[in-house]
Amino acid sequence: MITLSGIIGSGKSSLTKILADELGTKAYYEPVKDNPVLPIFYKGNEIAAKKRAQGDKEATNPYAYLLQTYFLNRRFAMIKKAMQEDNNILDRSIYEDEIFMKMNTEMGNATEVEYDIYRSLLHNMMEELPYAAHKKSPDLMVTIKVSYDTMIERIIKRGREYEQVDQDPSLVDYYHRLLKQYDVWMQKYDASPLLIIDGDKYDFVANKEDRVSVLETIESKLLELGNLTKAQYEQLQQAHLDLLK
């Protein structure tokens, strides 16, 4: 089982599909289009930021806790289902979920009480995960690391209005904070082997050479970990050569 991680717009869903097609396995995607909370969460951030700018230091986003518990519930169900089978890929996992609640608390969008309740729920879920599935953790975590400029470029390209900084200038601070949180998370993550892909350097969606480079990096790691046989690895390498012809 491979899990993807990375900031908004890093290309997790795109790489998940590429990997699933490459390895002939099932892809699990984070719920976004059917998420009823996400648009109002962004609006709540904007409202809370304006209230704090006007002097209301206690203003919070009333939807921050709701959004994170919604995601936590969906991600737990998703990874539990994926771990009950072999050879699956998730475009986001429960392992990075706390980043968002922690940051929202630090920004004043959620209260310390909400954060404590959320953390207790998360830790209880993590303790139950090995019992709900037949493996303890992912075989490999792949993180796509991108800069602020690359992230914004991709956010603009995919066109979700509530993610655009020109629609909500408070998102500039939010995104920069999120990048810093991911840097810390990558240093501390220890649930499984971690592979970091340079999302600024490799355009694995539009560029075939870049896509092959990323796939070969991931597959070399899977070979090293014993998740691919030598024969499987060599077969994939031949497919890459055919792709580049």
Task: Report d(CA 39, CA 30) in Å as an integer.
Answer: 15
The SS3 of residue 195 is strand
Task: Report d(CA 205, CA 225) in Å as an integer.
Answer: 26
CA angle 18, 202, 89 (to 5 degrees): 30
The SS3 of residue 140 is strand
Please report how many Cα atoms fall inside a 13 Å half-sphere around the Cα of residue 163, on the Cβ side. 16
97 is catalytic: no
Q: Which of 21, 86, 91, 166 is catalytic?
A: 91
Measured between alpha carbons, how far is residue 51 from residues 63, 100, 106 in Å?
Answer: 15, 21, 16
Is the distance from CB of 6 to CB of 141 less than 8 angstroms? no
Torsion over CA of 8, 63, 39 and 199, rounded to 10 degrees?
Answer: 0
DSSP state of 163: G
Is the distance from CB of 92 to CB of 4 less than 8 angstroms? yes
Amino acid at 238: Q
Residue 181, H or E segment: helix 170-188
Q: How many CB atoms lie within 10 A of CB 228?
A: 19
Q: Hey, which residues are catalytic here?
A: 91
